[in-house]
Amino acid sequence: MKHSIKARYAIIFVGLMAFVLISTWCVNSWFLESFYTIDKVHILERAYNEIDQVVAEANESGKGIIGYYKDTYDKDFKNEGPVQKMFRIMGEKYNLAMVLIDSSTDEALMSTSGDRQFLTNRVEDYIFGKDMPHTNIMKKYDNYVIQKTYDTRSDSYYLESWGYFSDNRTIFLISIPLASIRESVSLSNRFLAYVGGVALLVGSIITYFTTKRVTSPILALSNLSEKMSGLDFDAKYTGKEEDEIGILGNSMNKLSDRLKDTIGELRAANEELQKDIEEKVKIDDMRKDFIANVSHELKTPIALIQGYAEGLTEGMADDPESREYYCEVIIDEANKMNKMVRQLLNLTAIEFGNDALQQERFDITELIRGVINSAGILIQHNNATVKLEECGPIYVCADEFKIEEVITNYLNNALNHLGGDRTIIITAEEKGAEALVTVFNTGQNIPEEDIPKLWTKFFKVDKAHTREYGGSGIGLSIVKAIMDSHKKSCGVRNVLGGVEFWFTLDLYKES
């Protein structure tokens, strides 16, 4: 193991800590004193600006700063006013010693603690240009100067600001010691906070880029494990490390390959088994439904045939008229069974695609008229009125034989469910690139919950499957299968006074 993660992290963090400590020491040694002095200079600048505002207000009152200062006390001269409070807070907060002199009256004001006479003499020496040793000018403005001064009396350094305020009348001297312990501690803490923030930022950036290089392989392994848990075994670890992570990655690749082969075999076997089960269940359900429906539909005609045949055998129909009636019933029921079987065979052929379409051009209006004429006896028997809304020839492209079966089934369905004035209206019209054929019959509306089920084999709105309507429940299933084979639509809707079935066909287009 050439490169240990533990050793790598140890080197990174020890180096980072050493860098932070050395950097902090160097910055404190080289820049803290300058920062400390610059901060004191800013204090003197702020003090000048704040006092200059007060001096300006005093001059506007016509009293000067000395009179203005005294007038702001209360009438008993016991409680300080806002000006005295400002000077006191400024002196206590920044440890300032200040003296102000009105040059027109030579009256001096000592607003903070200190030796008033000493400071007065000192600022007068500065004003009259007396040579002062141990001074170093820090900043120089039009009205005042900020300088660093060594006081031989106290053996201490001071920062002093002296000159005139903006009224060119009031002389001032503001002194601040450079060795104030309280100020030094506060300043040092702030300085270290700035330096510490920068060091933390730089250290964070370095740590980020260094740990990213270390943790990237770990994240890659984590993503690989998530994909493996989702049964994605095509993902592989591609790292080239030779440490613990590299060994783990190669082991996971081998594990992924083995799991892929094993689970792939199990999945294939399971899919085959699931398909077999589903197919078996589907076939079993279809077989049960088919047997139940066919049995139900054949039960009545077989019972009738059996009953009338037994009646003939036992001599219940001695006269020719009775025998003829019995035979007609048997023939009629046999025809119904034969028709149902032929419909089932036809439906099966269409659903399994064994009955190929013969697409050709024909007039749908003429076809409807032919179906109505062929069903004339049936229409008369049902005491029905069938109307075809004349609209001229409409040429479509479809299998004419199968479309004839669709129209016939719609017409038979309408005859079986007639009501009211027993009227059937058939229309054919062009709708864009399609022809729309509708078959309306008067009677009761179909319950909305039953409409989607009408196209199911053997389904009847008559839940008892009585023989009242005479249908087998297969006709609409054949219609649905034929229209699906043409890739066209069909449907039914309840309308005022009855029910309307419809289907669409493509209009014939000249090549």
Tens digits of pLDDT across the chain (511 residues): 455 555 566 567 657 766 776 776 666 666 767 777 888 889 889 888 888 888 888 777 777 677 777 666 654 545 666 667 777 778 777 778 888 887 777 777 766 666 677 778 888 888 777 756 678 888 989 889 998 888 777 777 888 898 888 888 888 888 888 765 445 645 665 676 677 667 767 766 776 677 667 667 777 777 777 777 766 666 776 666 667 777 777 777 777 778 777 877 887 888 888 888 887 887 676 566 656 556 655 666 677 677 767 777 777 667 777 777 778 777 876 776 776 666 666 666 666 655 677 889 999 999 999 999 988 888 888 899 999 987 789 999 998 888 988 898 899 889 988 988 999 999 999 988 899 999 999 999 988 888 888 887 666 665 444 444 445 567 788 888 888 888 899 999 999 999 999 999 999 887 6
Helix (H, G, I), strand (E, B) or coil at 231: coil
Predicted confidence at residue 121, as pLDDT, reads: 80
Question: Which residue in 410, 417, 382 sits closest to 483, CA to CA?
Answer: 410
Predicted confidence at residue 149, as pLDDT, reads: 86
Beta bridge partners of 505: 435
Rounded to an integer, what distance in angstroms lies between the CA atom of residue 10 and that of residue 135? 52
**CB of 409 closer than 8 Å to CB of 476:** yes
- Cα dihedral across residues 365, 370, 371, 377: positive or negative: positive
Predicted confidence at residue 1, as pLDDT, reads: 45
Predicted confidence at residue 364, as pLDDT, reads: 92
Question: Which residue in 299, 358, 306 sits closest to 329, CA to CA?
Answer: 306
- Judging by beta carbons within 10 Å of its beta carbon (0-12, 13-18, 19+), is residue 415 exposed, middle or buried? buried
State the Rg of the chain over Cα.
55
Rounded to an integer, what distance in angstroms lies between the CA atom of residue 143 and that of residue 170? 11
Predicted confidence at residue 353, as pLDDT, reads: 59
- Sequence length of the chain is 511
Predicted confidence at residue 465, as pLDDT, reads: 45
Write the single-letter amino acid at 462: D
The pTM of this model reads 0.41
Predicted confidence at residue 434, as pLDDT, reads: 92
Give the tokens for residue 459. 């389904």
Predicted confidence at residue 255, as pLDDT, reads: 76
**CB of 135 closer than 8 Å to CB of 127:** no
Predicted confidence at residue 466, as pLDDT, reads: 44
Query: Range(s) for CATH 3.30.565.10 in the chain?
Result: 358-506
> In terms of CATH, what superfamily is 358-506?
Histidine kinase-like ATPase, C-terminal domain (3.30.565.10)
**CB of 442 closer than 8 Å to CB of 422:** yes
Q: What is the largest CA-CA distance in the chain?
A: 165
Rounded to an integer, what distance in angstroms lies between the CA atom of residue 478 and that of residue 276? 29
Q: Is 198 left (phi over 0), alpha (psi -120 to 50) or beta?
A: alpha
